[in-house]
């Protein structure tokens, strides 16, 4: 199986992170890439560099003002006397029905959901290359590969059309789904990350052509808190095309696989032409976030059951943080999916 990744994705190196108000080191570190690359190689993947795909496919799911913000906010921020090194919001609109602010500080609050996505001088390029890896994997699948893996980092599934959040800037899974739509009438996005794929849900919430399904730790007491509940089913023409399966904290393999079967029933009923897997590995029992308790053999089973759907599949890396087994968990998923065989 082909895997895609560009060196530029390593440059984004966020420092700031607040956890329950306490300043901590940001866990979305560039070192994740080395572990994930090793995991993909162990699964038999060949690693290729994506091409520059420009802004078009990214702009298909993000607003012009948001992309302009991501590209230029760091330079603007540096001109504020006494400002932090990284762009971090300190004010947010209560509701986004007021005016669009002109100031860098106001726009940071408008376009950034939380403090987990600080923007440095390298963020824009790293996020773009991450999206281009997703696009390249998508094009490989559109050209006939049964599956392809995009080593996307920074990740994407918490990014809305015009809001960054939770380590995410450009929604790589949404970009992949939208590119697939050129060929596929119906696309399903299956998000197995520990955290609800709120950005992906938001982007496709009113659309019936992209089914969004997410399994995750119950947000009633877990990030992203405000989204991911079972009663969020879509709106307008998209009503019924969003499906959330929140799981109790510390749910292990059996509960996860059981929920996955429920997800498959919805996906089969939708009858998609292609699938995007938003592959977070942070549901792992040893992940620093500690929200769910999936094991390494569990990721093999998850991969095997998803592969059995038999759909052309783009696998997009989402979360999964530094722990000894991070690479092994990726190997388990990709190998089960056919890493060596394909
Ligand atoms: Zn996550």
**pLDDT, tens digit, 9 for 90 and up, residues 131-176:** 999 999 999 999 999 999 999 999 999 999 999 999 999 999 999 9
Query: Any residues with CB less than 8 A from the CB of 34 and at least 6 apart, and which?
Result: none
The owner of tokens 């992309």 is: 67
Question: Which of the four pLDDT bands, split at 50, 70 and 90, describes residue 342?
Answer: very low
Percentage of the residues of the chain whose pLDDT score is greater than 70: 99
Distance 94 CA to ligand 1 centre (A): 25
Distance 99 CA to ligand 1 centre (A): 32
72 included as an active-site residue: no
CA of residue 104 relative to chain centroid, distance = 26
CA–CA distance, 180 with 161 (Å, rounded to integer)? 18
β-bridge mates for residue 313, sequence order: 147, 275
Catalytic hit among 158, 195, 196, 216: 158
CA–CA distance, 222 with 249 (Å, rounded to integer)? 9
- Cβ pair 320, 280 in contact under 8 A: yes
Which of these ranges, 86-100, 177-191, 198-212, has the smallest mean pLDDT?
Answer: 86-100
18-19 and 187-191 beta bridge pairing: unpaired
With 90 as the cut, is the pLDDT of residue 95 above it? no
Distance 268 CA to ligand 1 centre (A): 25
Region 225-243 average pLDDT: 98
**Ion ligand 1: protein residues whose beta carbon lies under 5 Å:** 193-195, 280, 282, 319
Which structure tokens are listed for 105? 């500080």
Helix (H, G, I), strand (E, B) or coil at 310: coil
Distance 282 CA to ligand 1 centre (A): 6
The owner of tokens 């669009």 is: 100
Region 114-127 average pLDDT: 97
Distance 68 CA to ligand 1 centre (A): 26
**pLDDT, tens digit, 9 for 90 and up, residues 258-279:** 999 999 999 999 999 999 999 9
Distance 320 CA to ligand 1 centre (A): 6
- Spell 177-213 as b/e; 16+ CB within 10 A means b: bbbbbeebebbbbbbbbbbbbbbbbbbbbebebbbbb
- Cβ pair 81, 181 in contact under 8 A: no
Specify the pLDDT at position 341.
42
Q: Is the pTM of this model over 0.95?
A: yes
Which of these ranges, 36-40, 54-58, 94-98, 304-308, has the smallest mean pLDDT?
Answer: 94-98
- Cβ pair 90, 139 in contact under 8 A: no
Closest CA to 282 of 270, 294, 274: 294
The owner of tokens 């078009």 is: 56
Distance 80 CA to ligand 1 centre (A): 32
Q: How many CB atoms lie within 10 A of CB 299?
A: 28
Specify the pLDDT at position 250.
98
Judge residue 54's burial from the number of C-beta atoms within 10 Å of its C-beta, 0-12 exposed, 13-18 middle, 19 or more buried: exposed
Distance 176 CA to ligand 1 centre (A): 18
Distance 285 CA to ligand 1 centre (A): 13
Distance 223 CA to ligand 1 centre (A): 9
With 80 as the cut, is the pLDDT of residue 324 above it? yes
CA–CA distance, 98 with 86 (Å, rounded to integer)? 26
Mean pLDDT for the chain overall: 96
CA–CA distance, 180 with 189 (Å, rounded to integer)? 11
CA–CA distance, 78 with 72 (Å, rounded to integer)? 11
Closest CA to 122 of 162, 85, 150, 89: 85
CA–CA distance, 142 with 179 (Å, rounded to integer)? 9
β-bridge mates for residue 10, sequence order: none
CA–CA distance, 29 with 167 (Å, rounded to integer)? 10
- Reported as type and span, the H/E element at residue 91 is none
Region 244-263 average pLDDT: 98
CA–CA distance, 247 with 63 (Å, rounded to integer)? 32
């Amino acid at each position: 199986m082909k895997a895609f990744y560009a060196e530029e994705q390593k440059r984004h190196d966020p420092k700031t992170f607040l956890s329950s108000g306490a300043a901590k080191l940001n866990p979305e570190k560039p070192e994740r890439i080395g572990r994930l690359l090793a995991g993909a190689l162990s699964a038999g993947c060949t690693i290729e560099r994506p091409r520059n795909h420009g802004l078009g496919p990214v702009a298909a799911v993000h607003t012009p003002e948001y992309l302009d913000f991501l590209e230029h906010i760091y330079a603007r921020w540096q001109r504020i006397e006494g400002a932090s090194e990284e762009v971090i919001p300190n004010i947010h609109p209560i509701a986004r029905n007021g005016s669009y602010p002109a100031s860098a500080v106001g726009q940071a609050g408008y376009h950034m959901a939380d403090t987990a996505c600080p923007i440095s001088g390298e963020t824009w390029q790293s996020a773009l290359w991450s999206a281009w890896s997703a696009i390249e994997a998508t094009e490989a699948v559109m050209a006939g590969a049964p599956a392809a893996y995009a080593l996307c980092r920074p990740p994407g599934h918490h990014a809305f059309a015009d809001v960054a959040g939770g380590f995410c800037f450009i929604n790589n899974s949404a970009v992949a789904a939208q590119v697939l739509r050129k060929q596929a009438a119906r696309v399903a996005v299956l998000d197995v990350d520990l955290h609800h794929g709120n950005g992906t849900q938001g982007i496709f919430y009113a659309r019936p052509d992209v089914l969004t399904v997410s399994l995750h730790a119950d947000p009633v007491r877990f990030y992203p808190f405000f989204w991911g509940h079972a009663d969020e089913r879509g709106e307008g023409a998209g009503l019924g095309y969003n499906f959330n399966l929140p799981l109790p904290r510390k749910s292990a393999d059996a509960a996860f696989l059981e929920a996955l079967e429920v997800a498959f029933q919805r996906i089969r009923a939708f009858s998609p032409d292609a699938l995007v897997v938003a592959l977070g590995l942070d549901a792992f029992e040893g992940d620093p976030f500690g929200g769910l308790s999936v094991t390494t053999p569990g990721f093999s089973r998850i991969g095997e059951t998803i592969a059995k759907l038999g759909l052309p599949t783009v696998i997009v890396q989402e979360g999964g943080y530094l722990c000894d087994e991070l690479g092994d968990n990726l190997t388990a998923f990709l190998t089960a999916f056919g890493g060596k065989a394909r």
